């Protein structure tokens, strides 16, 4: 499975103040960033099958991933996205060379946590 997590829009100033994060993917929940919880959920779903993670973030955010960056196979940085379609498209462009017929592709919004 290939998991694309788009998160290239900055949080508004109130949300940044409340969460200490600049983007949804980095919002801290139980000591870990939101994108890590999303990945963990898909790892359980895959049950040993390969999981390839593509995280699409705003320029400058990649350096903020810290130790959790190791759970991301590709981190794509883009300028503030004008639309969700632009953000997802950047993630889809990364599929070239890694995606084949056995892979399913899932797009999971970084602001949505489903456990």
Query: CB–CB of 37/29 below 8 Å?
Result: yes
- Read off the pLDDT of residues 42-87 as tens digits, 9 standing for 90 and up: 999 888 778 999 999 888 888 888 899 999 999 999 886 678 888 8
Would 62 be classed as within a structural domain? Answer: yes
Domain count, the chain: 1
Helix (H) or strand (E) holding 16: helix 13-19
Would 112 be classed as within a structural domain? Answer: no
- The domain containing residue 13 runs over which residues? 2-107
Query: CB–CB of 87/6 below 8 Å?
Result: yes
pLDDT of residue 40: 92
What's the pTM value of the predicted model, to 2 decimals?
0.86
Would 50 be classed as within a structural domain? Answer: yes
Would 35 be classed as within a structural domain? Answer: yes
Would 115 be classed as within a structural domain? Answer: no
Q: pLDDT class for 11, splitting at 50, 70, 90?
A: confident
């Amino acid at each position: 499975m290939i998991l694309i997590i788009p998160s290239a829009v900055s949080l508004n100033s109130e949300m940044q103040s409340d969460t200490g994060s600049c983007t949804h993917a980095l919002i801290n929940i139980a000591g870990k960033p939101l994108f890590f919880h999303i990945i963990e959920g898909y790892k359980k779903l895959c049950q040993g099958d390969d999981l390839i993670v593509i995280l699409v973030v705003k320029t400058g955010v990649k350096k903020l991933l810290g130790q959790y960056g190791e759970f991301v196979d590709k981190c794509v940085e883009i300028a503030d996205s004008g639309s969700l379609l632009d953000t997802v498209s950047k993630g889809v462009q990364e599929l070239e060379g890694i995606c084949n017929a056995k892979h399913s592709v899932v797009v999971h919004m970084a602001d949505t946590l489903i456990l």
